[in-house]
Amino acid sequence: MNMNQTISDHAVHRDDEASKIGMWLFLFTELLLFGGLFLVYTIYRNLNPDAFANASQELSVAFGTINTVVLITSSLTVALSISTIKDNKPKMAKNLLWLTLILAAVFMVNKYFEWSAKIHHGLFPGMEHFMQLPPGEALFFFLYFFMTGLHALHIVAGSIFIGVVIAQLNKGKIKYDDYILQENAGLYWHLVDVIWIYLFPLFYLIH
């Protein structure tokens, strides 16, 4: 996220490859941030296989699938926007990024409805129904809210990043021969997608 500031420092001798390596290293830290949670998930699911399968029935496969499709599509639009800026079509690139933001909004709205339904049932950690759940199922819902919540935060961060890119496109600071910021925003967005690719089967598809 902070890479965008540092690029301008090196206006004289800019090094896109360095920015990209920096971004990837940052992505590794994000991966391992979720990695810690995946580790907890793996251990607890292994300890409570039946409880996790039972609790998973509460989640709607349809909602999850729709959101997966939405995110994959948003990854496509980001990738396309980068290849369009390379072809020197900034307007098209911008439109594709707006489309990405719209898809991100759709994802968040879906998430909102999904979460509200669960909270309505008192499944949020600390709520009454949650406290009465059998042991393993409570862990499932704690992890569900923690991991999808953290993921949603990353969607917000990624959207802000893409917003910055759109602003820079408007100013003409990102152009066909200088688009590393957009590439890095794309990398971040794809990472958020990759994390969801794992969250989806682990939470929604246990039967």
Partner 1 sequence: MSTEQTAIPAENFFNQGGKGIMSWLTTTDHKRIGLLYMYSIAIFFSVAVIIGLMMRLELIAPGKTIMEANTYNKMFTLHGVIMIFLFIIPGIPAVFGNFFLPLFLGADDVAFPRLNLMSWYLYIIGALIALSTLVFGEGSADTGWTFYAPYSVKTGTNVSTSVFAAFVLGFSSILTGLNFLTTIHRMRAPGMGWFDMPLYLWSTYATSWIQILATPIIGITLLMIVAERVLGVGLFDPSLGGDPILYQHLFWIYSHPAVYIMILPAMGVISEIIPVFSRRRIFGYKAIAFSSLAIAFVGYLVWGHHMFTSGMSGPARIIFSILTFLVAIPSAIKVFNWLATLNKGSIDLQPPLLYSMGFIFLFLIGGLTGLVNGALATNTHIHDTAFIVGHFHYVMFGGTGFGFFAAMHYWFPKMYGRMYNIKRAKIAFWVTFIGFNTLYFPMFILGLQGMPRRYYDYLPEFQDWQVVSTVGSWILVTGLIMMFTNIIRGARKGKPAGDNPWNGYTMEWQTTSPPPLENFHEKPVYKEISYDK
Partner 2 sequence: MENNHSHSISNKTYIGIWIGLLILTFLSVEASFVQFRAFAVGVALFIATAKAFIVAYYFMHLKFDSKIISIMVLVTGVVFLTFIILTFFDYAFREPIV
9 binds partner 1 (CB under 8 A): yes
| Residues in the chain, total | 207
| DSSP codes joined into one string, 153-169 | HHHHHHHHHHHHHHHHH
Q: Which residue of 72, 105, 131, 205 would you call a contact of partner 1, by CB under 8 A?
A: 131
Residue 19 neighbours by CB distance under 10 Å: 19
Q: 53 by DSSP, 3-state: which?
A: helix
Least separation in angstroms between residue 90's CB and partner 1 is: 26
* Interface with partner 1, residue 107, by CB under 8 A: no
Considering only the stretches 141-149, 151-159, 165-173, 195-203, report the one whose residues sit in contact with partner 2 under the rule CB under 8 A: 195-203
- Please report, as a single letter, which amino acid is at residue 11: A
Q: How many Cα neighbours within 13 Å face the side chain of 35?
A: 8
Stretch touching partner 1 by CB under 8 A, among 18-26, 94-102, 109-117, 170-178: 18-26
91 binds partner 2 (CB under 8 A): no
Interacting residue with partner 1 among 89, 146, 199, 205 (CB under 8 A): 146
Candidates 93, 58, 68; CA nearest to 79 is: 93
Residues pairing with 178 in the sheet? 175
Q: Which residues bind partner 1 (CB under 8 A)?
A: 2-3, 5-6, 9, 15, 17-18, 21-22, 25-26, 28-37, 39-40, 43-44, 47-48, 51, 125-126, 130-131, 134-136, 138-139, 142-143, 146
